[in-house]
């Protein structure tokens, strides 16, 4: 049986933002936009999360051009699988909630 766990909202949005390669500031902007301003990542929090996600093999840091300080990251296949499982889990939660509320 596959490992089952829930992602934090911040982790979910970080992974979602990395479906296409993106640098740190771009991740912060898209996360805030997608969450309607609910999730605001500070730089220290974001880079700690990026390091942890790299260590899990869910994302990779892309090679940088020359000595650019701008680091880009991208979702791996493993990360995409984790994200797809989380989307399915969230859909199930929403479907069950809607179904039960309609039965009242």
Q: Which CATH architecture has domain 9-103?
A: Orthogonal Bundle (1.10)
Which residue blocks in the chain are alpha helix, DSSP H?
9-17, 24-34, 43-56, 77-103
How large a percentage of the chain has pLDDT more than 70? 93
Q: What's the pTM? A: 0.88
- pLDDT at 3 exceeding the cut of 90: no
pLDDT in tens, 45-93: 999 999 999 999 999 999 887 666 788 999 999 999 999 999 999 999 9
pLDDT, position 4:
63
pLDDT, position 51:
96
């Amino acid at each position: 049986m596959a490992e089952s766990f829930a992602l934090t909202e911040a982790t979910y949005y970080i992974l979602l933002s990395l479906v296409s390669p993106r640098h740190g500031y771009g991740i912060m902007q898209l996360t805030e936009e997608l969450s309607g301003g609910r999730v605001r990542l500070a730089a220290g929090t974001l880079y700690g999360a990026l390091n942890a996600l790299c260590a899990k093999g869910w994302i990779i840091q892309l090679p940088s051009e020359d000595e650019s300080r701008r680091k880009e990251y991208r979702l791996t296949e493993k990360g995409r699988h984790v994200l797809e499982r989380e989307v399915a889990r969230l859909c199930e939660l929403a479907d069950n909630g809607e179904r039960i509320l309609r039965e009242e």
